Structure 1
Amino acid sequence: MNLFVLLDAQAASQGSMLQTFLPFVLIIVVFYFFMIRPQMKRQKELRKFREALKKGDKIITTGGIYGVVSEVKDDAIVIEIADNVKVKVDKSAVVMDMADAVKR
């Protein structure tokens, strides 16, 4: 008789443990699918965009400078922001294509 009481008490404590941790697990899953995963996807798309930059692309930098790519190097690009005015910026400073800016 005592054995059944002990087994029943152990099963009840495991059930309550599951009820305790289930909300935390659900919160982590929700954070992953609604916050972490979309951010990783955006970063991947931005990295592909920066790697595909070529001469003649119209871009916008993080500082809000609009320009046309005139030269592409390994980790930097030279953009022309006005006639005969060229600026060298890091590729990580490029935010988007001007065609994307028109859509927003």
Structure 2
Amino acid sequence: MFVSPAYAQDASAAAGGMAAFGQFVPLILIFVIMYFLLIRPQQKKAKEHKAMVDALRRGDMGLTQAGIIGKVVHLREDGEIEVEIAKDMKVRMIRSAVVQVLSKTEPAANS
């Protein structure tokens, strides 16, 4: 009677390494799913926003995070822009505050 439980414990101890790996498989799968559903799309969206902000030019109409629509009148080197929101009303803001470009200006012809 005392010998059979000892054999059962010994068999499970030998397979313990494989069982420990089996416990981590769901965690690994959850991380992979989270990466493809959450992290990767956010990185792609941030990359697209950075490209859009880097492509801002004078004359572009943009929508800011505050919901203000204005025209870019001056681009500064320190990451700031001047946006005209009304006639003779200019506001300085950070470039990354522009969330959408509503209309792009045509590039100047090189003649």
Q: Which has the larger radius of gyration?
A: 2
1:86 has 2:90 as partner? yes
User: How many positions carry a matched residue from both structures?
Assistant: 94
What is residue 102 of structure 2 aligned with on the other side?
Answer: 98
Post-superposition offset of 1:41? 0.6
Relative to the length of structure 2, the TM-score reads: 0.77
Once residues 31 and 23 of structure 1 are traced to their aligned partners in structure 2, the CA distance between those partners, rounded to angstroms, is 12
> Alignment RMSD, CA only?
1.9
Three-state SS of the structure 1 residue aligned to 2:57 is: coil
Q: Deviations over 1:76-96 (max 9, x none)?
A: 001111111111111121111
Matched residue of 1:87: which SS? strand
CA distance, structure 2, for counterparts of residue 51 and residue 62 of structure 1: 17
Residue 66 (structure 1) aligned with residue 69 (structure 2): yes
Question: Which has the larger helix fraction?
Answer: 1
What TM-score, normalized by structure 1, do the two folds share? 0.82
**Residue in 1 aligned with 2:34?**
31
Instruction: Work out whether 1:52 is the aligned partner of 2:25.
Output: no
Matched to 1:89, the amino acid is M
Q: Unaligned regions of 5+ residues in structure 2, if any?
A: 1-9, 104-111
1:43 to 32, 37, 46: 46
Label 1:8 to 1:20 Cα distance change in 2 as closer, same or farther (>3 A). Answer: closer
Runs of 4+ in 1 over 6 A off after TM superposition: none
